[in-house]
């Protein structure tokens, strides 16, 4: 029984190492979109990018969940989408960024991609605007009007940090489990 448990733990550990060693996914350009050249979207923040597009929120997020994915032996590994309040974009993406939605595509113990979208017609600000005031918020670039602007901010982690944390999980789990088991024995012996 102990041998089987140790083999299972070894298999889990090695599987985790393979997962953590996979190459980082690239953030690709949004299809049929125009890359933003506004201040803050170019050299000021080289790790992030922004695009003007006519795609909706669900289409943008599905595209990035598909392209910002990890594959192992032809299998796509699951990623998680986390939804944040739009006002958190100043923490995770950039300060002074108009945001209607903010979601994170996350690979546990690895990297994350924050997707911040702005659509003035769907934003709560539209409740207070007259149609004539939409011109102020309209996104017209080179004579083409776009529905929304999507800003992307990836967060990558160092492979050494990943391996250190993954390797630390196993002895720490053993120590916590042992301490819990001993505490439970003491508690039951007091009865």
Could you state, in order of their start, the residue ranges of all structural domains in the chain? 25-161
Query: Which pLDDT score is estimated for 57?
Result: 92
Look at residue 115 and give its three-state secondary structure. Answer: strand
Query: Which pLDDT score is estimated for 165?
Result: 95
Beta bridge partners of 144: 141
Our CA angle for 51, 41, 134, nearest 5°, is 60
Q: Please report where in the chains the tokens 């979207």 appear, as a residue.
A: 41
Query: Which pLDDT score is estimated for 171?
Result: 92
Secondary-structure percent of the chain, ordered helix, strand, coil, rounded to 5 = 40, 25, 35
The span from the CA of 123 to the CA of 89, in Å, is 15
In contact, 64 and 152? CB cutoff 8 Å: yes
The stretches in the chain having pLDDT less than 50 are none
Tell me how far CA of residue 155 lies from CA of 33, 47, 53, 112, in angstroms.
22, 9, 23, 5
In contact, 151 and 63? CB cutoff 8 Å: no
């Amino acid at each position: 029984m102990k041998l089987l448990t140790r083999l299972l733990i070894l298999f889990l550990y090695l599987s985790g190492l393979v997962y953590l060693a996979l190459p980082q996914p690239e953030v690709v350009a949004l299809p049929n979109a125009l890359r933003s050249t506004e201040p803050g979207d170019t050299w000021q923040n080289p790790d992030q990018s922004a695009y003007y597009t006519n795609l909706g929120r669900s289409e943008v997020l599905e595209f990035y969940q598909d392209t910002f994915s990890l594959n192992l032996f032809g299998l796509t590994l699951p990623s998680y989408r986390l939804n944040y309040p739009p006002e958190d974009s100043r923490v995770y993406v950039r300060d002074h960024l108009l945001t209607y939605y903010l979601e994170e595509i996350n690979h546990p113990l690895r990297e994350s991609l924050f997707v911040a979208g702005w659509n003035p017609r769907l934003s709560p600000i539209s409740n207070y605007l007259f149609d004539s005031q939409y011109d102020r918020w309209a996104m017209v670039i080179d004579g083409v009007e776009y529905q929304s602007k999507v800003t992307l901010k990836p967060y990558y982690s160092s492979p050494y940090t990943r391996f250190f944390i993954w390797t630390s999980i196993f002895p720490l789990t053993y120590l916590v489990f042992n301490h819990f088991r001993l505490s439970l024995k003491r508690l039951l012996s007091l009865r």
